[in-house]
Amino acid sequence: MSKVEDLELIGDKIKNCDSCSLSLSRTNVVIGEGSPDSPIMLVGEGPGANEDLQGRPFVGRAGNLLDKLLKEIAKIERENLYITNVVKCRPPKNRVPTTEEMEKCSHFLMAQITVIKPKIIVALGSTALNFFLKQVVPITKHRGRFKEWYGGIYIFPTFHPSYLLRNRSEKEGSPLFYAKLDMQAIGYMYHQLKSKPNINLKSLIEKTEKGIIDAENRIKG
C-alpha cells in the first residue's frame, strides 16, 4: 500500500478510538494532514477548539501564526509538511493532556511516524518535547537544539505558536525572535533534505545548529 493508504487506515482507527475520556467530549478527531513524503514532521500538543470543530490541526489563531512563520521565514507551504499532534482529541478547556491520555494515544502518532519516516520531527512546545524525551524539560533551554531520538530521527524543539501569541514582542531575545531563528533553521533543513536526499544528516544538523548558536551569540554580544 502507499503511504497515503497507510495513513488513511491509521485515521480510521483514530476515528473509532474510545480508549480515554477525551473521546467522550470531542466533536471531531484531528488526525493530521500534509505531505506523507516530507522529510520534516511537525508535532504539537493537541487540538484546540477550532481544530476540534474542523477536524484539522492548527487552524485557529495559533495555526495562522504557524502558517505565517512557515511561509515567510522558512519558505515552506504548510501542505508540504506533515502536521499532527500528540493527542488526537481536544482536552476539555484546552488543558494540557495528561500522561495517561498521551500514552493511550501515542501508538497512533508512532504509527504515523513509521509511515512518514521523517528525518526531523519539530516538537512544537514543551508538551510535545516532553513526550518525545520522556522527561520534563523547559522548552526555553532546549529550543533550537537537536535531540537524537529513535531510528536515526532527530527532534528539534521550538516554541508552540500559542505561546508566541501570548508573547508578541519581536525584540532581540524574545520568544518570537528565537522562534524565527528556529524557523530559518527548519527552512534550511527542509530545502537541503528535499534537494539532496542523500545528504549526510548528522553533518547537516551540526552545521544548522552551529548557525543557530552563532546567531544567538551575536545577540548576546
pLDDT, one tens digit per residue, over 187-201 is: 999 999 999 999 999
- Does residue 88 carry a pLDDT above 90? yes
* Res. 216: pLDDT tops 90: yes
What is the topology classification, in CATH, of domain 3-220?
A: Uracil-DNA Glycosylase, subunit E (3.40.470)
What mean pLDDT comes out for the span 94-108?
96
Q: Which residue has the higher pLDDT, 172 or 32?
A: 32
Residues 107-147 pLDDT 10s? 999 999 999 999 999 999 999 999 999 999 999 999 999 99
Q: How high is the pLDDT of residue 219?
A: 84
**C-alpha closest to that of 158 among 123, 132, 207:** 123
What are the domain boundaries of the chain? 3-220
Distance in angstroms between the alpha carbons of the first and the last residue of the chain: 54
Note the pLDDT of residue 168. Answer: 87
* DSSP per position, 47-111: --HHHHHHT-SS-SHHHHHHHHHIIIII---GGGSEEEESSSSPPGGGPPPPHHHHHHHHHHHHH
Q: What is this structure's pTM?
A: 0.96
Per-residue pLDDT, 112: 99
Average pLDDT across the chain, whole number: 96
What's the length of the chain? 221
